[in-house]
Amino acid sequence: MVALIVIGLPVMFLMILANRFFKFREKQLEVEAMNAAEKAAQYAARSGELENRVRVLEQIVTDGGAQTAAQIEALRDPNPRRGSRKALPSGDIAS
C-alpha cells in the first residue's frame, strides 16, 4: 500500500503536469499558425501589387515613344493643364 502511494502519486502528478504542458504547447502552436497565415496573406497581397506595377512598367517600356512620353508626363504632373499653351519661364512677358 505504501509503495502504491510512493510510486503512484508522483506518476499521476507527472501525467497531469505533462497533459497541461501539451495543451499549453498546442495553443501556442495554434497562435503561431494563425500569425503565419496572416503574414502569408499580407505577402500575397504585396506580391500582387508588385506584379501589377511590373506589368505597367513592361507596358511603358514596350509601348511607342509618343504615347509613352504622354503617360510619363501625366504621371509627373498631378494637375494637367487644359489647352496646349506652354507656361512661360518667369520674367518673360507674353505679347
Q: What is the pLDDT along the chain (95 residues), one digit of tens a residue?
A: 788 788 889 999 999 999 999 999 999 999 999 999 999 999 999 999 999 999 988 887 787 666 777 777 788 766 655 555 555 555 555 44
Four-residue CA torsion sign, 17, 19, 20, 25: positive
Of 77, 59, 79, 76, which Cα lies nearest the Cα of 68?
Answer: 59
User: Domain map of the chain by residue range?
Assistant: 21-61
Of 23, 26, 20, which Cα lies nearest the Cα of 12?
Answer: 20
This prediction has a pTM of 0.45
Q: What is the CA radius of gyration of the chain?
A: 35
